Structure 1
Amino acid sequence: MDRLLNLRAFVRVADTLNFSEAAASLQIARSSVSKLIQDLEDELGTRLIQRSTRQVSLTPDGHAFRERCIALICEAESMQQMFARDGPAPRGALRVSLPSRIAHHIVAPALPDFFARYPDIELDLVSTDRPVDLLGEGFDCVVRVGRQKDSNLMSRKIGELEMLNCASPAYLQRYGVPQTVDDLHRHITVGYSSRRASRDQPWTIVENGVESSIRMKCLVSVNSAELFIACCKAGMGLIQIPAYDVQLMLQDGSLVEVMSDQRTAAMPIAVVSPERPSASPMISAFADWLSTLMDEYMAERFAGPSRT
């Protein structure tokens, strides 16, 4: 499988456009990455990567070869895993980024179960609501909510999050209860901004199978789930949010669901990695465990919300 390392090195350089970052992610020397790429180019008889003192870029052949490499790596790793059930247990350090509320409320309480199953894995968990640079920041995998736009990464869907439209009782008393899409034009929303989304992202509503986008006035924009919910509770606007995030608040009445028959589409949740999760026993183990955990959490703890 020595040739597989050449392919891995090429894909990492193609994704990062940086030999040092590729070397760090592969845990080998930068000079070794350069030699692996040079050997590959010599064998293929074509230049895959253009190098200069200032930048690294892919040639047209490099772009085409990258897609074939990913398929070959995935197939090779799949073949290696065919008979791994009775092999050694996953072992090593795994660095994972997770959305803050999933990390705090779902993953952390269940960690004793994870380590009972996988005592030889060491987890480095980073809790953040910002979209991290998976390769640049040295993560093995990240848990992301929403549609995945980065075609350079592998994504394994592990579930969906039901989305609700919510407001505080104080907000509804002041602005009234929206009943229709047209009503929303007279309301305000709490904005959510990040490097990937601006504060004026429109609301989406699905009614009779048809999705509509509505832009509403936004007085305050935030960049964390905790602050997003806090602003809604303070009466600063309507929000669209995963049901598990506000379950207790719906039960105690501090938040209320509105337009329950006109929700936005469920948000997919996925484990994203530079390669297919099954390519790494540790990533595969974590993804399997988290998928089961999310299913059990939603089934056992989600109760019917207060609706308006």
Structure 2
Amino acid sequence: MDKLQAMATFVRIVEAQSFSKAAETLSLPRSSVTTTIKSLERELGTTLLRRSTRTLSLTDAGERYYMSCRAILAEIARVEGELSADTASPRGRVRADMPGVIGRAMVLPRLHEFAQRFPGIELVLGLSDRPADLIYDGIDCVIRTGELADSSLTAQRLGELSWITCASPRYLKAHGEPATVSALNDHHAVNYISNATGRPLDWRFHVQGEDLAIAMQSRFAVNETEAYLQCGLEGLGLIQLSEFVALPYLKSGRLKEVLATARSSAVPVSIMYPHGRNASGATRTFVDWIAEIFEQSDFKRGT
């Protein structure tokens, strides 16, 4: 039995609170994960996990072993990271998650460059509007928008997003253009459903020095950015999305910004990853590369 692999598997199970989820994030069959834990418990001569069809918990011995395993694996990651930093070719696997629109516009077009510069790094990208949990999902780093509250992670600012209200010429021809925020009561809107809460996001504006959050009524609502954008392009109603996403369509004339003087305050875009000694050299290399491509782009920089 590979003891380090067994320790890593055990830690992953505890953090994911699931054999199946651990197997998924480790890209292993569930049967292999189960066999590894049984072999580990047999070799240690003690039970580490209490498990039933619905619950998973640590025994006293399991709790002590878990803390020791975490410390050992973190130290190994630190040493390997330092060694990787001393070489031109860091190695390892990085699981990263980010909003789909940012991934498609900023990251995917540059992956060929990444592959050439860092041939020793295997990259697994998750592109989704669903917020990922680094611990539960086994993610090494995430790109997130908005204010951040998770102090257990290191956050590096990449830039900021401005949200704008816009509509297609087809919609504006049929319904006219709202002159003020209060005039929105006379217009149709398409709402965006938050994947975190399952509820429509408020529409945000900045009027006379005050930030406003308005719950808009709508006939249509979606939970994915590309679908949301398409609804706007089809003239189904006003939409509110980031200037970064809307810019090509504003330039082509397929969308027009409205209520420009009431634009909401910009929100930060950050990449988050474990604190220094717990982040692998490959993860830190990927984070630095992400910061580099954002710096080189016309993405709006934060101040």
Instruction: Answer yes or no: is the 8 Å Cα contact 1:180–1:259 preserved in 2.
Output: yes
The correspondence of residues 114-125 of structure 1 with structure 2, limited to 5 A, is 114-125=114-125
RMSD of equivalent CA atoms: 4.4
Describe how 1:155-174 pairs up with structure 2 within 5 A.
156-159=155-158, 160-174=160-174
Deviation of 1:219 (Å): 1.3
**Residue 260 of structure 1 aligns with which residue?**
260
Q: Which has the higher contact order (CA 8 A, sep 6+)?
A: 2
1: CA distance, partners of 2:57 / 2:175: 54
| Alignment check: 8 A CA contact 1:171 1:237 kept | yes
Q: Find the residue that maps to 2:219 and give its secondary structure.
A: strand
SS at structure 2 position matched to 1:295: helix
CA gap 1:298/1:70 in 2 versus in 1, 3 angstroms: farther
Q: Hey, what does 2:110 align to over in structure 1?
A: 110
| Contact map agreement 2:16 2:137 (CA 8 A) in 1 | no
Residue 282 of structure 1 corresponds to: 282
Instruction: Tell me the distance in 1 between the aligned counterparts of 2:147 and 2:8.
Output: 26
3-state SS of 1:201 partner: coil
Partner SS for 2:268:
strand
| Post-superposition CA distance 1:34-77 (Å, at most 9, x none) | 7889999x9xxxx99764453114799x99xx999989987985
Q: Which residue of 2 aligns with 1:269?
A: 269
Is this contact kept in 2: 1:187–1:217, CA < 8 A?
no
Report Cα offsets for 1:189-222 as digits up to 9, x if no partner. Answer: 2122253243532212233553221111211112
> What does residue 232 of structure 1 align with?
232
Q: Offset at 1:118?
A: 0.6
Give the AA of the match of 1:196: A
State TM-score, norm by structure 1: 0.71
Distance 1:156 1:132 in 2: 15
1:15-164 to 2 correspondences below 5 Å: 15-19=15-19, 21-22=21-22, 25=25, 29-30=33-34, 51-52=51-52, 54-57=54-57, 81=81, 84-87=84-87, 89-131=89-131, 139-147=139-147, 151=150, 154=153, 156-159=155-158, 160-164=160-164
Q: Give me the whole-angstrom Cα distance separating, in 2, the residues matched to 1:206 and 1:289.
A: 34
Q: Which residue of 2 aligns with 1:306?
A: none
Instruction: Please give the secondary structure, in 1, of the residue aligned with 2:218.
Output: strand
Identity %: 33
Deviation at 1:262, TM superposition (A): 2.2
* Aligned mates of 2:269, 2:105 — CA distance in 1: 16
1:107 and 1:69 map into 2 onto residues whose CA distance is 34
CA contact (8 A) 1:231 1:237 kept: yes
Contact 1:199/1:221 (<8 A) preserved: no
User: Contact 2:189 / 2:216 at 8 angstroms: preserved in 1?
Assistant: yes
CA distance change for structure 1 residues 228 and 49 in 2, over 3 Å: closer, same or farther? same
For the residues of structure 2 that align with 1:266 and 1:238, how far apart are their CA atoms?
A: 19
Whole-angstrom CA distance in 2 between matches of 1:68 and 1:185: 59
CA distance in 1, matches of 2:205, 2:71: 37
Displacement after TM superposition at 1:153 (Å): 7.1
CA contact (8 A) 2:144 2:269 kept: yes
> What is the TM-score with the length of structure 2 in the denominator?
0.72
Q: Secondary structure at the match of 1:94?
A: strand
Contact preservation (8 Å) 2:18, 2:56 = yes
Where does structure 2 lack aligned partners over 5 or more consecutive residues?
A: none
Change (3 A) 1:266 1:69: farther
Alignment match, 1:247: 247
- Name the SS for the 2:86 alignment partner: coil
- Determine if contact 1:187/1:216 at 8 Å carries over to the other structure: no
SS at match of 1:165: strand
Q: Structure 1, unaligned stretches of length 5 or more?
A: 303-308
The DSSP-based 3-state class of the residue aligned with 2:261 is coil
Asked if the contact 2:84/2:90 (under 8 Å) is kept, the reply is: no
Asked if 1 retains the 8 angstrom alpha-carbon contact of 2:166 and 2:258, the reply is yes
CA shift digits 1:78-125 (9 cap, x unpaired) = 676456531462223434344333233222221222123212223333
Closer/same/farther in 2, CA of residues 32 and 268 from structure 1, 3 Å limit: farther
Change in Cα spacing, 1:183 to 1:248, as seen in structure 2 (3 Å) is same
SS in 1 for 2:241: strand
Structure-2 separation of matches of 1:100 and 1:259? 26
